[in-house]
Structure 1
């Protein structure tokens, strides 16, 4: 399975870190997967398939990587990001002008991003995510589970400032 993961990552032209980040794992965990030191669950393989638009038959061995991967063009990716940005803005009941005032971008810049003409940089996605109360991973990559309750910078900062709560959460996660 590790060879299939490496071939997929190479086909997509992604670094280990980029590939791992989209799957919510660390680059070191990705290295262990690539080395064949980790047995992958069906759920994790499904996550790879949904995240990277891969036909599950690839992991079953019935199709090759070239047939299994639906490569999304950068233009299509920008359109999808723009749709999610517009969706989040409308769900908050904001106009382009209101959002631009909140985040310090011009309404014309936001309009170009929403229309899929301009790429949304990660730095700006963080600012927009905080203003719209959505996760950056959802905004940039469409990860639905990260939309409503984003574990972003703000939450991580809060947890760092509250070690007692962080410890309680850690203990609950271990069970």
Structure 2
């Protein structure tokens, strides 16, 4: 890489334009990379073996989206489990239990610079949610088999969440 500039930076997104060279020596300039904070998503399973999901409006989809609870890690936040607990509590009201970091993946290694962390939460206790003012979230609890069906039939539209759900439900 020879140089970088940022043609766009705001609170939601940063676009970096790199002058880079491929391993073959071919120059790619500009090569655009989207810079985002890391994300954490939680596969939460209650005492009745139901998976906790959230349904909320997503403007890019222009409709409702069924997803795992989670979101961006806050600036300076480095503890994945603490971020997962915070997101789960804010979006669903569930707290406590045992949290396990299952994996870290890239949402799109060709264009994004951030990481996506999957945490499984078990033994959780229901409580009052405290979503951000921009969030209007419906909390659902579905049996594990139903969660798999939702993931495999397109009812969960976010491709990344489909993969995360299947990883989390099949992890030992």
Which category of TM-score, normalised to the shorter sequence, fits these structures? Answer: under 0.3
The alignment's TM-score, normalised by the length of structure 2, stands at 0.23
Higher relative contact order (CA 8 A, sep 6+): 2
The alignment's TM-score, normalised by the length of structure 1, stands at 0.22
